[in-house]
Every structure is written in structure tokens, then in C-alpha cells.
């Protein structure tokens, strides 16, 4: 929670709305961040990088992106949108976030249903989150912050990256890591 936000304000919609207006809109922080994104996000490069990882063409034109001031970035695969976290510091993490969320969309489109059916939703979601470690090879080349993932996926991410560095093939990596779920 932001240090300058009174916890009681969280329960008061008007108070929270007023806080967001003052902190992010009246200060032009949102506009400044959006301008930074326009100048620094190369969506064609992101697409090229993701296509290299998955070894096929991808079309992300139908996916919408919304900005959130909260520190969670939900997405909806069926409705084709995700949220990007507003950042006033370390803005390059936003670009890493775009890679991360688009990689989730690819996973959903090509693997989620089959893995969920065979291994259950929890394991499918663990795999979806853990596989983002594969992005780090590209992120490092682009001088972007690495995808750190969640602490509960650390062991699975370590196994994935070992397989990925040997295989450099997403299908093969997924088939081999499924033995460890």
C-alpha cells in the first residue's frame, strides 16, 4: 500500500477515487508514463522475440492493454486483455511485464486446456507462471529487467531453464517439464 494513502481510505470509494485523481491524473503522472511507454516499447521487437521463443508467427493485434495503479496485473484470455502496472520507478519492468503477459496468452492459446485437463488447474497455472523464466534470455539481450517469477515456483523455474538451455524448443521443454509437475 502506498505510504501516503490512509488505510481507511481503502474502504471509502470516494476517498480512493479522490486519491487516484490527485496522485496520478492531476499530476500528469499517468500521461507521462503513457508517453514513456509510446517512446520505449517496441511491440514489433517484442513480437519478434516471442516468435523466436515459440518458433512460430504470433498475432497480438487483438489484445487490449489497460493501465492499473495497483500492483497486480490481471488478464483475461477469453476477452483478450491484460493490465499493465503503472510505474514511476524502474519503468523498464513494464516492458518485461508486456513480454510476460503476452507469453501467458500464447500458453493459454496453445497449451492450457490440454495441460489443465491432464494435470489440473493448479499445476497448469504453476507451469504457465514458471515458464516465463524462458523470457530471461531475450530480456537480458534487450537490457531489460529479468522475469523473476514467484518464490513458490523457484524450483520448477530452475528445472525449466536447464531443459530450455539444452532444448531451445518450447514444445520439447514443456513435454519434458511435465514429468516434474
In this prediction, residue 61 carries a pLDDT of 84
In this prediction, residue 152 carries a pLDDT of 96
In this prediction, residue 138 carries a pLDDT of 97
Cell triple for 146: 529479468
32-63, pLDDT tens digit by residue? Answer: 999 999 999 999 999 999 999 999 999 888 99
In this prediction, residue 7 carries a pLDDT of 87
- Along the chain (181 residues), what's the average pLDDT of each consecutive run of 10 residues? 84 92 93 97 96 93 92 92 94 97 96 97 97 98 96 97 97 95 86
Residue 132 to residue 117: CA distance in whole angstroms? 21
Comparing C-alpha atoms, which of 27, 35, 22 is closest to residue 67? 35
Do 20 and 27 meet the contact criterion of CB atoms below 8 Å apart?
no
In this prediction, residue 94 carries a pLDDT of 96
Residue ranges and CATH numbers for the domains of the chain are 1-40 (no CATH), 42-180 (1.10.10)
128-149, pLDDT tens digit by residue? Answer: 999 999 999 999 999 999 999 9
In this prediction, residue 164 carries a pLDDT of 98
Instruction: Read off the pTM.
Output: 0.92
Amino acid at each position: 500500500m502506498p505510504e501516503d494513502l490512509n488505510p481507511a481510505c481503502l474502504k471509502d470509494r470516494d476517498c480512493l477515487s479522490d486519491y487516484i485523481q490527485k496522485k496520478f491524473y492531476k499530476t500528469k503522472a499517468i500521461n507521462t508514463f503513457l508517453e514513456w511507454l509510446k517512446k520505449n516499447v517496441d511491440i514489433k521487437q517484442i513480437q519478434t522475440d516471442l516468435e523466436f521463443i515459440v518458433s512460430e508467427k504470433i498475432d497480438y493485434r487483438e489484445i487490449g492493454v489497460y493501465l492499473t495503479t495497483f500492483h497486480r496485473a490481471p488478464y483475461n484470455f477469453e476477452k483478450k486483455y491484460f493490465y499493465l502496472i503503472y510505474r514511476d520507478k524502474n519503468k523498464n519492468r513494464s516492458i518485461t511485464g508486456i513480454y510476460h503477459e503476452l507469453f501467458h496468452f500464447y500458453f493459454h492459446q496453445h497449451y492450457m486446456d490440454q495441460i489443465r485437463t491432464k494435470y489440473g488447474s493448479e499445476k497448469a497455472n504453476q507451469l504457465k507462471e514458471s515458464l516465463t523464466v524462458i523470457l530471461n534470455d531475450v530480456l537480458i539481450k534487450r537490457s531489460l529487467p529479468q522475469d523473476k517469477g514467484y518464490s513458490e515456483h523457484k524450483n520448477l523455474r530452475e528445472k525449466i531453464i536447464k531443459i530450455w538451455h539444452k532444448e531451445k524448443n518450447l514444445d520439447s521443454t514443456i513435454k519434458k517439464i511435465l514429468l516434474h509437475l
